[in-house]
DNA sequence: CGGTAGCCTGTGTG
DNA sequence: ACACACAGGCTAC
């Protein structure tokens, strides 16, 4: 087992680990603390990664199975560049979005360097099926369960085993629904099982490959054929796995933000109807342009409860949350 | 067709 | 302690 620290050159303004890894895009990253230094442990590309933010670079370690070992800093750096999509220069985009939108400018103070991750398609399909009508903490535990039950073991660190995200054929097994039911997945157990079977019946790997060649509209429609995937989940997958950066997933948070700050005339509904969904997406696409989904993710982060620390006293903290009334 | 009740269950809030 | 609302929605009416 290696203990080498590698170095990926990258400015903080181009990548903020905290907001990017903890912002509800990916459910497999956890914060670990080592000598007061904030580190992030997560799994992607069948490897366990430990990342640490520095001023002008990211320090990282990699754990993987002997079979897959690359042992080459350049190869690892390329995997990270691809995962974080570092070819996209966001400092410049942030300037454009800030010019177009004062609320974005406000959010950007705290949430600089937020990136859309380029995540594995299969992992995102099943992770975001879990996300429906659910809390992030619970979603994370469900994704972890899927990996533990059906994923290949990658390695063991400090007595804890880590698993890759499962292959679709294993999730398509007959026994899956019942197993997930008894493990607290609720009605999503059936969605996962049926979706895995649908993908296998549609050609498995071939279906995935084809999905990647489709336009945004085609891919979204194709994804919505799967049980448990509606417009919102399909947009999450389009945005975070298929490189359709103008897809805008509209959830209750975005609906609330849109109604409060951008589109006050939106009807007051309990659930987002199809028309409201499309109107909100169009509004943000008009406002932010071709990478609107990316900008939207910054707004989403700014509204997440977990980022509302004790720094909400003044208006320069960057959060867009409605101020809670202070008790007198 | 647009709208909405019902769904599993953990977590946060009072 | 012990409800009770509500989660980054979707399906089926």
Is the predicted pLDDT of residue A69 greater than 90, yes or no?
no
Contact A137, A119 (CB under 8 A): no
User: Do A58 and A129 have their domain in common?
Assistant: no
Domain containing residue A19: CATH number: 3.30.310.40
Q: How far is the CA of A1 from the C1' of B14 (A)?
A: 50
* Chain B nucleotides reached by a protein CB under 7 Å: 2-13
Q: Considering the entire predicted model, what is its pTM?
A: 0.94
Same domain? A71 vs A165:
no
User: pLDDT tens, A225-284?
Assistant: 999 999 999 999 999 999 999 999 999 999 999 999 999 998 888 889 999 999 999 999
Measure Cα distances from A8 to A30, A84, A221 in Å: 20, 11, 37
Residue A103, classified by CB atoms within 10 Å of its CB into exposed (0-12), middle (13-18) or buried (19+), is: middle
Structure tokens at A229: 């995937």
- Residue A327's pLDDT band, with cuts at 50, 70 and 90, is very low
Provide the CA A228 to C1' C11 distance, Å, integer: 8
**For chain A, what is the domain count?**
2
Residue A50 token pair: 């430990």
Q: Which two tokens stand for residue A238?
A: 């389009």
In a domain, A160, yes or no: yes
The protein footprint on chain C, as nucleotides within 7 A of a CB, is 7-11
**Do A147 and A61 lie in a common domain?**
no
H/E element holding A33?
A: strand A30-34
Active-site annotation holds for A232: yes
Distance, CA of A1 to C1' of B12, in Å = 41
Q: Which of A212, A241, A270 is the last residue of a domain?
A: A241
Q: Indicate whether A126 and A235 sit together in one domain.
A: yes
Domain shared by A130 and A35, yes or no = no
Helix (H, G, I), strand (E, B) or coil at A2: coil
In a domain, A208, yes or no: yes
Token pair in block for residue A206 = 């071939």
Q: What is the pLDDT of residue A169?
A: 97
In the block, tokens 């073991």 appear at A153
Which nucleotide is at minimal CA–C1' distance from A27? C8
CATH number at residue A206: 1.10.340.30
Task: Identify the H or E element spanning A300.
Answer: helix A292-303
A82 and A125 housed in the same domain: no
Tell whether A162 and A212 lie within a shared domain.
Answer: yes
Q: Of A197, A223, A241, which residue is a domain's last?
A: A241
Which residues in chain A, range 59-88, keep a C-beta under 7 Å from any nucleic strand B atom?
none
Tell me what pLDDT residue A306 has: 75
Residue ranges making up the domain that contains A193:
121-241
Residue A214 CB burial class (10 angstroms; 0-12, 13-18, ≥19): middle
On whether residue A211 sits in a domain, the answer given is yes
- Contact assessment for residue A11 and residue A61, using Cβ atoms and an 8 Å cutoff: no
Does residue A36 fall inside a structural domain? yes
pLDDT at residue A269, as a whole number: 85
Residue pLDDT, tens place only, A167-205: 999 999 999 999 999 999 999 999 999 999 999 999 999
Q: Which of A226, A241, A256 is the last residue of a domain?
A: A241
The span from the CA of A94 to the CA of A50, in Å, is 27
**What is the pairing mode between strands A160-163 and A153-157?**
antiparallel
A235, with CB counted inside 10 A (0-12, 13-18, 19+), is buried
pLDDT at A316 exceeding the cut of 90: no
Q: Which of A60-69, A146-155, A259-268 has the highest mean pLDDT?
A: A146-155
Q: Is residue A287 part of a domain?
A: no
Tell me the angle at which helices A231-241 and A274-288 cross, rounded to the nearest 10 degrees. Answer: 30
Least confidently predicted of A55-69, A86-100, A299-313: A299-313
């Amino acid at each position: 087992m290696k203990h080498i620290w590698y170095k990926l050159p990258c400015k903080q303004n181009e990548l903020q680990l905290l907001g990017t890894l903890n912002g509800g895009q990916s459910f497999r990253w956890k914060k670990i603390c080592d000598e007061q230094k904030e580190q992030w442990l997560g799994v992607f590309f069948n490897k366990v990664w430990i990342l640490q933010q520095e001023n002008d670079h990211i320090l990282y370690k990699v754990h993987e199975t002997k079979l897959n070992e690359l042992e080459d800093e350049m190869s690892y750096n390329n995997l990270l560049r691809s995962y974080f999509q570092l070819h996209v220069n966001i400092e410049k985009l942030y300037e454009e979005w800030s010019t177009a939108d004062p609320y974005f400018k406000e959010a950007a103070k705290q949430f600089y360097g937020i990136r859309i991750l380029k995540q594995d398609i299969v992992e995102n399909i099943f992770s975001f099926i879990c996300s429906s009508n659910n809390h992030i903490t619970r979603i994370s535990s469900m994704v972890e369960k899927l990996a533990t039950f059906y994923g290949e073991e990658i390695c063991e660190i400090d007595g804890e085993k880590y698993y890759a995200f499962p292959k679709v054929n294993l999730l398509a097994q007959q026994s899956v629904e019942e197993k997930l039911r008894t493990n607290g997945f609720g009605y999503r157990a059936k969605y996962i099982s049926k979706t895995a079977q649908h993908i296998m019946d549609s050609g498995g790997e071939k279906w995935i490959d084809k999905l990647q060649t489709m336009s945004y509209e085609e891919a979204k429609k194709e994804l919505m054929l799967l049980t448990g995937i509606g417009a919102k989940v399909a947009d999450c997958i389009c945005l975070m796995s298929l490189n359709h950066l103008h897809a805008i997933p509209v959830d209750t948070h975005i609906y609330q933000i849109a109604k409060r700050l951008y589109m006050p005339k939106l009807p007051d509904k309990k659930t987002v109807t199809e028309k409201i969904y499309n109107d909100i997406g169009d509004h943000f696409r008009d406002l932010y342009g071709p990478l609107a989904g990316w900008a939207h993710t910054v707004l989403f982060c700014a509204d997440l409860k977990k980022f509302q620390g004790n720094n909400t006293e003044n208006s320069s903290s960057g959060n867009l949350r409605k101020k809670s009334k202070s008790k007198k």
